[in-house]
Amino acid sequence: MLEEAKLTEVTEQIQESRNSDDDKFLELAVEIEAECIVSGDEDLLVLESIRDIPILTADEFLR
């Protein structure tokens, strides 16, 4: 798995989550143009999406 890992430098700060500690996950998702964010964190789930990237629960992702 480490062979597939890439370090990514985040170039844009995002301040969207009601918990500022979670903004780093949004920044990374936007930077790598993620297909979705899978989380159980209510502070992220309440956003529903960020820049057209859906924020899903694990159940939603598996459907």
Give the range of the structural domain holding residue 63, as residue numbers without chain letter: 35-63
| Residue 63 resides in a domain | yes
Report d(CA 6, CA 20) in Å as an integer.
24
39 lies in some domain: yes
Specify if 9 maps to a domain.
no
- For residues 57 and 39, the answer to whether their CB atoms sit within 8 Å is yes
pLDDT tens string 14-40? 999 999 999 999 999 999 999 999 999
Residue 11 in any domain: the answer is: no
Block residue for tokens 């990237």: 53
- Within-domain flag for 17: no
Q: Is residue 29 part of a domain?
A: no
4, pLDDT greater than 90: no
Mean pLDDT of 43-60: 98
* Sequence-distant (≥ 6) Cβ neighbours of residue 46 within 8 angstroms: 18
If one counts the domains in the chain, the total is 1
At 3 the pLDDT is 81
Given a cut of 70, whether residue 1 has pLDDT beyond it is no
Q: What is the pLDDT of residue 31?
A: 96
